[in-house]
Structure 1
């Protein structure tokens, strides 16, 4: 499959790239390994300074980088600019906090003394998705490079210009050759990379199928892996919630990035007492929005990432409606050129239907009305996914009690799930394992070496 940029706004090919040959790949692996042998010995301050420079360059070139995101995967331009700001903040965060995170950790022992020393391990391979083409790369790259590892990134094949640009930024920042390496490769080359002894850890953000394949390759070769996979996050509205706030956050949580986020608020679950009010206000917020060019700041509904993605979403919605679900609004492709799908709300979704059991990776909200908290929790947990979730209530203690019963890696109170550098990010069940961001993110691919003193 060619590595191509196709603009989803008009489905036109912009640029193509050649995949690496076997000899080119070997050259890059050897270069990365040589870089690691030197980079691991650099002081944390030197490694942190590189991240500071990367952050500064991204902010200086924000408009250029944001436009690249929008052209390659269709994100609204304001959201693309926000992504660049978020990504820069990740590099800044690890540059500022790495020294403290990597300090020796004393251990309490019965005699003598002991401590944990955090040491790098080698080349970390990141397999990254198209939906946040800069920020997702930053989440694996920043903590590992500042910890003394080097990274090789196999990015999604439909955002090759973003992939190449990130390598360029590291070079501009003064990174030694091999500290950051972009790999133009098809996905079927990952298993061979996992087997290479120079690669010591693997991280993937993407689909369940891709995650299972990477985990199999990593496990077969006794390599550590971190997976951030799909999600079907519950957005629970209790009967004492601030409904206007819940509506505002539901619109943002479900339709940001055209609903193409693992932590998107895909299942909205409202108690009966407030369900009708919420649904009326929610619908009113998403009808009549301007559809058009994602580079136009006034556009509110842009394209999905590809024609294939839009067609797949349409099929999922149609199958769910055939099973008995009702369309409140939307529910169709928008009649124009490009990978467009209308903002949609589904209700009366039958248990076991497509929308009930699968992740809808696009601008479709599944709305459920339930009788009480017990039913809300049971529905929230009736999924194989376990990434994030939200609970809305004016009673914080009650909201926390509900949050503690939801089987996910993250729950936000009175807010849609959002990524921040200082919060651990990750899930459970079929949503993956391991954590990105915060101190936990920097600990995933380092050796926690115990040093014992008699």
Structure 2
């Protein structure tokens, strides 16, 4: 009996979509088909690959009117926000624009005797395991540059957003990307692990939980398959005494609550200089109190349900434990809070790092705010985490932000902004956030391998 993958809609708990997972044998056949096509794809001119990928991106954009309500049903994001095509297109477009330079040979030197250079060559078959929270944007981070670099791609999407990979494959194929170059695979966990363990792939890129990343690395152990991981975070914001208070509150609270807090680089803890603390909290409470929790298909809704009841249960547990330990909750329960996926957003003060809400990834609409008196105190608290994805610094002093940023254990330092992926910068992390890097020139380098050429010329005596 085969496995059936089911997307349970957070709107009402119904089965929104289901697909049969591939058996190991069927998955092996699909990957063999991809591998057989890779050399011919890589042999195509770079500009041809770029044009085909960008045509696929445009084809996804043409589906946006269907995609937006589909996402609302699958993972709960309100339709008022219009989907992900803006970021999807921005990231792919940037990677396309830098491809020629990023993939160019490194010329080491040539004289009468030798020609020496380093070439970037594709890994071969790249396996992309994408998450549900920003299912299109996270997938394109790897899919676009991997294909542009001459790899073939197998995409496995999270069951919560079951239809996203199917949509992407349909769009790319309609635009001319061959079916045996980019494939969407419906896979269960056991088959996924078995494929990695038998060295079916040449590179694996995984975005998800720490536990999921550990499972990927265990499966790849001994295969020498490269594994890139982005495993979430507990991203801090630090508001210094000279910050633009209104801008800091608006951006950090939006970074904490947007998408029901289900953002890889969402703000999960905030440290505010004591001189601004009370005003910051007051403004933050006013913003969150004005949110409209409700059905994501309603244009008036600003905060939809969390993607799954079990995700909401974890957030409720963290909030409840913190309150029992002495934290102060500032947001009264919303009428629409059903005890399930629809969850009241929460701001907590009187929190400490002894509480899980300030240590464990919440991935929901809750943020703890602490008072600090110095950069040194804020730095120590920001670094007191097993994660390191981004940190958001709020000050008018660029030099100070750089000095503080140099001391934070993180992948990205923001100044006066938060929760954004600039495709010109490497998207990376440290500690339990994982290893690797996407986007930017480094993204291309991670999706290729260096190949050195040391060519001795035949010369006449």
TM-score clears 0.5: yes
The CA distance in 2 between the partners of 1:108 and 1:299, in whole Å, is 61
Q: Mean Cα displacement is larger for which, 294-303 or 278-287? A: 294-303
Alignment of 1:116-135 (within 5 A): 116-135=118-137
Task: Give the Cα separation in 1 of the matches to 2:335 and 2:390.
Answer: 28
The answer (yes or no) to whether the contact 1:271–1:371 under 8 Å persists in 2 is yes
| Cα distance per residue 1:37-70 (max 9 Å; x no partner) | 3212111111101111012112222221222211
Instruction: Kindly report which structure 2 residues correspond to 1:37-186, keeping only aligned pairs within 5 A, or say none.
Output: 37-81=39-83, 83-107=84-108, 112-186=114-188
* Whole-angstrom CA distance in 2 between matches of 1:104 and 1:44: 13
Other-structure match for 1:282: 284
Match of 2:442 among 436, 440, 443: 440
How far apart in 2 are the matches of 1:61 and 1:16?
20
8 Å Cα contact 1:73/1:304 also seen in 2: yes
Specify the alignment match of 2:16 in structure 1. 14
Residue 423 (structure 2) aligned to one of 418, 421, 424: 421
Query: For 1:327 and 1:333, how far apart are their aligned partners in 2?
Result: 16
State the secondary structure of the residue aligned to 1:203.
Answer: strand
Secondary structure at 1:290's aligned position in 2? Answer: coil
Q: Residue 416 of structure 1: CA displacement?
A: 0.8
Measure, in 2, the Cα distance between the counterparts of 1:332 and 1:35.
54
Secondary structure of residue in 2 paired with 1:164 = helix
Q: 395, 398, 404: which is aligned to 2:397?
A: 395
- Given the two structures, how large is their TM-score scaled by the length of structure 2? 0.94
Structure 1 stretches of 4+ moved >4 Å: 108-113, 330-334
- How many residues align? The count is 453
Mean Cα deviation higher: 246-255 or 211-220: 211-220
Distance 1:188 1:333 in 2: 41
TM norm structure 1 = 0.95
From the superposition, tell whether residues 280 and 106 of structure 1 become closer, same or farther in structure 2 (CA, over 3 Å): same
Shift of residue 338, structure 1, vs aligned partner: 5.8
Q: 1:281 to 1:109 in 2, by over 3 A?
A: farther
1:358 aligns with 2:360: yes
Q: 2:367 is paired with a residue of what secondary structure?
A: strand
Does the Cα contact within 8 Å between 1:316 and 1:360 map onto a contact in 2? yes
Deviation of 1:75 after TM superposition, in Å, equals 1.0
Q: Relative to structure 2, which stretch is displaced further, 387-396 or 66-75?
A: 66-75
The separation in 2 between residues aligned to 1:95 and 1:238, in whole angstroms, is: 38
Tell me which residue corresponds to 1:407: 409
**Shift in alpha-carbon separation, 1:371–1:195, aligned structure 2, 3 A:** same
Matching of residues 224-373 of structure 1 within 5 Å: 224-330=226-332, 334-336=336-338, 339-373=341-375
C-alpha distance after superposition, 1:394-423 (max 9, x if no partner) = 111111211111100101000013112222
Q: CA deviation at 1:218?
A: 2.1
Cα separation, 1, equivalents of 2:412 and 2:337: 38
How far apart, CA to CA, are the structure 1 residues paired with 2:140 and 2:297?
Answer: 24
Contact 1:118–1:447 at 8 Å: present in 2 too? yes
Which of 214, 217, 223 lines up with 2:216 in the alignment?
A: 214
Local SS of the residue matching 1:130: coil
Contact 2:80/2:301 (<8 A) preserved:
no
Contact 2:199 2:225 in 1 (8 A): no
Structure 1, residues 143-170: CA drift from partner, whole Å, max 9, x if none? 1100000111121112111121111111
For structure 1, list consecutive stretches of 5 or more residues without a partner in the other structure. none
Deviations 1:221-278 (A, max 9, x none): 1111100002001100000100011011112211111110121011110010111111
